[in-house]
Amino acid sequence: MGTPSLRVVDSHVHIWDPAALDYTWLADAPTLNKPFLPEHLPHSGANTRGAVFVQADCRDDQALKEVDWVSSLHAVWPQLAGIVAFAPISHGDTVAEDLDQLLERPLVRGIRQLFQDRDESFMLDRTTLAGARQVARAGLVFDACIRSRQLPALAEFADGVPDLPIVLDHMGKPPIASGDLTVWRTGMRELARRPNVVVKLSGAGAEADPNRPLAPQALPVIQETLQLFGAARCMVGSDFPVSLTSPADYQAWITLVERSLAGASDGERAGVAHGTATRVYQLAEDPEQTATNQEQD
């Protein structure tokens, strides 16, 4: 694959340092159980104009500390444009206190509480829906990280909070390796009918068969997602370092997304590359330029 021409906002980036915060899940992921910091990001050679950090599932009581730690790295990571922080929406209306604290941090644009390993009833509980409504009232976005079997439940969740912008992480985690996309396809078709839901074209590397080339496995999934949701409701993300770590893999992913846009208009290409993420997360138009201006002021 050639070098991508798209200049993107990477809508899904993780960094972490096990020496700074506690990530219990890393004990079961030995290849990831080490620091991944801004200097390790593969962005520099891939036309990346901005990035959104997504909470990396540290201990729940360290959510504010994670935001403050990531924010403190802005000087060495000028592409950082926004943060999706953890907040326990499952606590219902009391999550408003957490949101008030997070809103004091200017880079916070969204909230995530993982649903992927929960029963569907967890996200549809009336207390969780009440917490989600608080996120909407705060003017924030909710990132939904689920597995493909949970797509119907997420559609119900979206119906329960129609004023909440919802970003589906990783195309709903289709079981790419198995090739059995029937459940995913049905769920995505139904979810696409919810106008408050947009999708990240990300995460395929973690769901694909590592013994086969990624492109032929992932390209049909990306194309189908674009067909269902449209370019104005799709954004590109790397899922660094879970789905990829090297500059070559990063460029290959952006190029693959670019291939999926063959025949698209310039506006559609710009939407997927950076427009949708900028609009949904309410980001600065060019984070690198904004950071430069702030340094000069």
pLDDT at 44: 57
pLDDT at 294: 41
- The pLDDT confidence band at residue 288, using thresholds 50, 70 and 90, is low
Q: Is the dihedral of CA 263, 268, 274, 276 positive or negative?
A: negative
pLDDT at residue 128 tops 70? yes
Please provide the average confidence, as pLDDT, over all residues in the chain: 93
Other beta carbons within 10 angstroms of residue 121's beta carbon come to 9
Burial status of residue 241 (CB atoms within 10 A of its CB: 0-12, 13-18, 19 or more): buried
pLDDT single digits (tens) 153-177? 999 999 999 999 999 999 999 999 9
pLDDT single digits (tens) 203-247? 999 999 999 999 999 999 999 999 999 999 999 999 999 999 999
CA dist 221 and 216 (Å) reads 9
Tokens coding 57: 């599932």
pLDDT single digits (tens) 101-118? 999 999 999 999 999 999
282: left (phi over 0), alpha (psi -120 to 50) or beta: left
Burial status of residue 295 (CB atoms within 10 A of its CB: 0-12, 13-18, 19 or more): exposed
- The pLDDT confidence band at residue 5, using thresholds 50, 70 and 90, is confident
Tokens coding 157: 């969740």
pLDDT at residue 46 tops 60? no
Identify the structural domains of the chain with CATH numbers, from first to last. Answer: 8-296 (3.20.20.140)
86 - beta bridge partners?
A: 112
Q: Name the pTM for this structure.
A: 0.94
Phi, psi of 55 (to 5 degrees): -45, 140
pLDDT at residue 297 tops 70? no
55: left (phi over 0), alpha (psi -120 to 50) or beta: beta
Instruction: Report DSSP letters for the chain, one per residue.
Output: -------EEEEEE--B-TTTS--GGGGG-TTT-S-B-GGG-SGGGTTEEEEEEE-----GGGHHHHHHHHHHTTTT-TTEEEEEEE--GGGGGGHHHHHHHHHTSTTEEEEE---TTS-HHHHHSHHHHHHHHHHHHTT-EEEE---GGGHHHHHHHHHH-TTS-EEEGGGG---TTT---HHHHHHHHHHTT-TTEEEEE--HHHHS-TTS-HHHHHHHHHHHHHHHH-GGGEEE---BTTT--SHHHHHHHHHHHHHHTTT--HHHHHIIIIIHHHHHTT--S-HHHHHHHHHH-
What residue type is 40 in one-letter code? H
Contact 47, 9 (CB under 8 A): no
